[in-house]
Homo-oligomer: A and B are copies of this chain.
Amino acid sequence: MSWGNKVRLTVFGESHGPAIGAVLEGLPAGEPISTEEITAQMARRAPGRDASATPRKEADTPKIISGLLESRTTGAPLCAVIENTNTRSGDYKSLRNVPRPGHADYTAYVRYGGFNDVRGGGHFSGRLTAPLVFAGTVCRQILRRKGIAVGAHVLSVHGVTDPPFCPADIPVSLLDQLSSRYFPTIDPKAETAMRAEIEAARQKADSVGGVVECAVAGLPAGAGGPLSGGAESLFSSILFSIPACKGVEFGAGFAAAELFGSENNDPFFFDQEGKVKTKSNRAGGILGGITTGMPIVFRAAFKPTPSIGLPQQSINLKTGRPEQLTVKGRHDPCIVPRAVPAVEAAAALAVINLLP
């Protein structure tokens, strides 16, 4: 179902249907939207644009069919449609009976009584992150003019790590720089090592997962609210809508569970301009569900792509018997770098809904 109370996102489409797309309701009117920026972010998400990614090339050119006039938002719902090209109906039909482990094939079969579009994962395809990236890019442009920047990097791939953000001091320039790259890491050597890890998985016909770390800088203090109105609830509900995301943590996150309170509490101070800040930022910019004015920092864990070339144990729902399954075709051995723009997009949508 659609998401958001202030700026509402509705995503539609199936991987091998005519088109996918998004509707954004509640956008402020008069905001200039750059299609170049949209194209650039869509390209970061699209497979085949980068050496480490899947071979299927997707055009992914969103066509905005409402809500934009002379490159500015009109205030009416903004709808973009992305046509599916190169769809192959024949490829996936047998999947109906033999569900791929780790995919939504079986659960969607039960949920929709077998009527869901199973081709390419249908509405459950990772391809559905394209409308999310589109929507997030629209929101980011609006936020950027308010001084709010969103950026993320690949924190780890299969255990190979990049250094984490220094959470109490994240320059906007770093976020801007990260959010323009295909395989963003803080340490260039990390990228090299991660690419090697991904290539090794590819050669085994296997796949690997990883963690994306994201930050939002420039947010004022005082946005959000207690209990289910809190920033963490808002962020996590859209982050977990990204396929393959299985964990979300804010600030010190799970590591906070191993600290003393005296270590985890962030001491307050006034900076030179008299602004309230904290020396550390283990809260990840959120206390009591409300922004502190420090950067929001969170991490999202992605499981390894369930699509692998190795034979797997499954079942045949028709015959009621076990069946070994080997999924043909080429697979993307790691979606983590391409998940970065989706995470940033989700963060931008959360922020635009968090602001008063």
Contacts and interface: CB of A to CB of B under 8 A. Distances in A.
Nearest to A3: B228
Interface stretch (A37-45, A168-176, A264-272): A264-272
A179 interface: no
A269 B107 contact: no
Nearest to A235: B240
Interface in A7-31: 8-14, 17-21, 23, 25-26, 29-30
Contacts of A232: 240, 245-246
A59 interface: no
Interface in A215-262: 221-230, 232-234, 236-238, 240-241, 243, 245-254, 256-262
Contacts of A115: 29-30, 69, 72-75
A10 B2 contact: yes
B122 A74 contact: yes
A348 interface: no
Given A23-B12, A252-B246, A304-B256, A314 B2 contact: no
A256 B66 contact: no
A191 interface: no
A19 B21 CA distance: 14
Interface string A186-223: 00000000000000010010111111000000000111
A351 interface: no
Contacts of A320: 270, 274
State how many copies of this chain the complex holds.
4
Residue among A210, A302, A312 with max Cβ neighbours from chain B (10 Å): A312
B240 A270 contact: no
Contacts of A157: 257
Interface stretch (A46-54, A142-150, A283-291): A283-291
A290 B2 contact: no
A10 B13 contact: no
Contact of A1 (B25, B66, B99): B25
A150 to B, nearest CB: 18
A87 interface: no
Nearest to A310: B262
Contact of A249 (B3, B116, B246): B246
A306 B113 contact: no
Contact of A257 (B229, B265, B302, B313): B302
Nearest to A238: B228
Contacts of A75: 108, 111-112, 115-116, 123
A240 B229 contact: no
Contact of A74 (B14, B102, B287): B14
Nearest to A64: B18
Nearest to A266: B101
Given A201-B261, A227-B241, 9 more contacts: A10-B10, A12-B76, A69-B115, A74-B115, A102-B261, A106-B221, A111-B225, A247-B248, A270-B322
20 contacts: A13-B66, A14-B69, A19-B65, A30-B113, A101-B267, A102-B265, A104-B289, A107-B290, A123-B226, A124-B226, A158-B259, A208-B259, A233-B241, A237-B237, A243-B288, A246-B252, A246-B284, A254-B301, A257-B303, A270-B315
Which A-B residue pairs are the 3 nearest by beta carbons?
A104-B288, A247-B249, A110-B222
